[in-house]
């Protein structure tokens, strides 16, 4: 089973990179039976959706779409490292999701969300709505990081025990769903 962690924030001064680096190394140690990969939407560098056909047709014209489709198609589960911008997910996340359809279908999704006092909970709820439309299964277990800026030391994210415990519960739940949904696919 392949779990792909998607770093969704693309700002030059983003804190998401520190959060994603922590979660990637935590998940590799914990594993829950997954092979784990980290992808960065800043590096994937998708333009605003520029495919002429509906994604469900999978008639992709652009190389950037074919590359992104391959990554998503080869993954069995996803964890999105998601900030909150104006009570919503970042546009980079929505754009990357909209590019594809079948490649997302019947796969579980978890969130490591972060922001100010809300810890990205509002952003996650909006994101789940979108993922449900992709026929994905967003799990309720989640890592939430309120006041993310208070957890950085020399640029590195330093987790609390609660962050680590929530990460473990989320990964275990996702392993169950990944097995069930792989059978279904
Ligand atoms: C455009 C913008 C809007 C934001 N809106 C919210 C918000 O609605 N709620 C919140 O908790 N934090 C908000 N923040 C604070 C971010 O959650 C915080 O800056 C976080 O570090 C952003 O993730 P990033 O650094 O990985 O881009 C906002 C930040 C930006 C840049």
Ligand 1 centroid to 135 CA: how many Å? Answer: 28
CATH code of residue 174: 3.40.50.360
> φ, ψ for residue 158 (rounded to 5)?
-110, 110
Hey, whose CA ends up nearest to atom 21 of ligand 1? 15
Between the two ends of the chain, the Cα-to-Cα distance in Å is 13
Say how far apart CA 66 and CA 68 lie, in whole Å.
5
Half-sphere exposure (CA, 13 Å, Cβ side) for 2?
12
Hey, whose CA ends up nearest to atom 22 of ligand 1? 83
Predicted confidence (pLDDT) per residue in 111-166, tens digit: 999 999 999 999 999 999 999 999 999 999 999 999 999 999 999 999 999 999 99
Asked if residue 88 lies in contact with residue 120, where contact means CB atoms within 8 angstroms, the answer is no
Beta strands 137-138 and 77-83: pairing type?
unpaired
Number of domains making up the chain? 1
Predicted confidence (pLDDT) per residue in 39-67, tens digit: 999 999 999 999 999 999 999 999 999 99
Residue 46: strand, helix, or coil: coil
Token duo for residue 57: 């047709």
Pocket of ligand 1 (CB under 6 A): 9, 11, 14-16, 83-87, 115-116, 118, 148
Asked if residue 4 lies in contact with residue 39, where contact means CB atoms within 8 angstroms, the answer is yes
Would you say residue 32 has pLDDT above 80? no
Ligand 1 centroid to 56 CA: how many Å? Answer: 32
Distances (CA, A) of 1 to 71, 110, 115, 127: 14, 15, 30, 23
**pTM for this structure?**
0.98
88: containing domain: 2-182
Distances (CA, A) of 74 to 1, 104, 129: 9, 10, 23
């Amino acid at each position: 089973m392949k779990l792909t962690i998607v770093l969704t924030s693309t700002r030059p001064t983003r804190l998401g990179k520190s959060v994603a680096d922590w979660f990637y190394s935590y998940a590799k140690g914990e594993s829950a039976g997954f092979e784990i990969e980290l992808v960065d939407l800043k590096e994937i560098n998708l333009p605003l959706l520029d495919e002429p056909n509906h994604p469900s047709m999978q008639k992709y014209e652009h190389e950037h779409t074919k590359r992104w489709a391959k990554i998503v198609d080869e993954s069995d589960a996803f964890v999105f490292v998601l900030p909150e911008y104006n009570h919503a997910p970042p546009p980079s996340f929505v754009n990357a999701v909209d590019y594809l359809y079948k490649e997302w279908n019947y796969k579980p999704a978890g969130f490591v969300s972060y922001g100010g006092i809300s810890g990205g909970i509002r952003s996650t709820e909006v994101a789940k709505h979108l993922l449900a439309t992709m026929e994905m299964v967003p799990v309720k277990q989640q890592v939430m990081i309120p006041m993310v800026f208070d957890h950085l030391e020399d640029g590195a994210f330093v987790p609390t025990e609660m962050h680590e415990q929530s990460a473990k519960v989320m990964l275990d739940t996702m392993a169950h769903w990944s097995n069930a949904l792989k059978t279904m696919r």
